[in-house]
A = this chain, B = another copy of it.
Amino acid sequence: MHKKLFIPGPVEVRKEVLEKMATSMIGHRSKEASELQKSISNNMKKIFYTESEILLSTTSGSGLMEGAIRSCTAKRAAVFSVGAFGKRWHEMAVSNNVPADIYEVDKGKAVNVQEIDKVLATGNYDFLAVTHNETSTGIMNPIEEIGEVVKKYPEVIFAVDTVSSAAGSKVEVDKCGIDICITSTQKAIGLPPGMSICTFSDKAIKNAEKVKFRGTYLDLLALYKYIKKKDYQYPSTPSISHMYALDYQLDYILNTEGLENRFARHIEMANIVREWGKTYFELFPDERYISNTLTTIKNTKNISVSDLNKKLGLRGFQISNGYGDLKEKTFRIAHMADCTVAEVEELLSNINDILQLK
């Protein structure tokens, strides 16, 4: 039996989007391929509220995160981490011999904006990496506030991982001064995994030009130069299936549902899960910075999360256990992409039934 996914990616994908994954192939050096990528780029600019160029990568979001920190750190990177996916930025820098420091907070807390200011004021850094929405803890960092601080340091490239938030929660790239805003297909956009997308500012381009060894496949500057040289084509062969599905879904998001409606629906779903979580358990993250796309709940009743998930599985649902050492201590319910309010309510009512919560 298929399980409806309430996990932080892959998400449940609409039937119409899945069908687009089955589109027949075209040559990747054809005019049609250029038109397809141009259409995606134009629509992604709207999703991100940006005038920056859009890059596509046939990788998961991790591919573009690594590409960003390696391609665009000419001096030293400061990684502000609030969980597992924040740490990943730093691990990627280290594995590429990119000088980097990591600044961490306790799990469930957001980044400390004053600390970012203090750290950037040292003048040691030309790259700042932040996770917008951290799915290991359920925190959504205050990206606009951070952006205000970063604007004081024009030499710093501001890179944000919006993998699990973009298209589900408003991210205004240009307003926040984000140079590289990264997302991927399998979260709030509502596609299968397999492609990632980022914005790439003129400032980021200039910094990349200072970096000598950027590699090839994940080199953001190479991706940028290729779309300019070859009219929005990809240096190797991209996942054309994902491009067809993405193009279709972005049109749906912008012109059928509407971006503001989509964001409002995400907040509505989040509110329902938060209320439920507070009624029967406790919320894990700092409520001032709680995620709009995923709720992490503290397992105050000491239930067996793994057992709950097995029982939910028999009813056709799947949620997520806590991440890493938060396993069994927390559990996570994602409410993103094309999931409806009714589906969220159906899930919670099944959990109530299994746990006999009243």
Contact = CB atoms under 8 A, between A and B. Distances in A.
Contacts of A70: 215
Contacts of A24: 2, 12-13, 18
A187 to B, nearest CB: 9
* Dominant secondary structure at the A interface: loop
Contact of A28 (B10, B13, B58): B10
A250 interface: no
Contact of A239 (B3, B28, B194): B194
Given A27-B5, A92-B216, A239 B63 contact: no
A34 interface: no
Interface stretch (A126-134, A230-238, A268-276): A230-238
B19 A22 contact: yes
Interface in A292-342: 318
A344 interface: no
Contacts of A112: none
Nearest to A33: B10
A42 interface: no
Interface in A213-263: 213-219, 235-242
A59 interface: yes
Nearest to A69: B216
Query: Which residue of A63, A219, A239, A318 has the most chain B CB atoms within 10 A of its CB atom?
Result: A239
Given A10-B27, A25-B13, A193 B62 contact: no
Interface string A193-216: 111000000000000000011111
Range class of the A interface residue count: 35 or more
A285 interface: no
Interface in A1-60: 2-3, 5, 7, 9-13, 18-19, 21-28, 58-60
B27 A194 contact: no
B217 A59 contact: yes
Contacts of A97: 212-213
Contacts of A96: 213, 215-216
A50 to B, nearest CB: 24
A97 B212 CA distance: 9
A10 B26 contact: yes
A161 interface: no
Interface string A178-198: 000000101000001111000
Contact of A95 (B23, B60, B215): B215
12 contacts: A11-B25, A12-B25, A21-B22, A22-B22, A58-B194, A62-B216, A91-B216, A95-B214, A95-B215, A192-B241, A239-B242, A241-B241
Given A62-B216, A95-B213, A95-B214, 9 more contacts: A10-B25, A59-B63, A60-B217, A60-B236, A60-B237, A61-B237, A193-B237, A194-B240, A241-B242
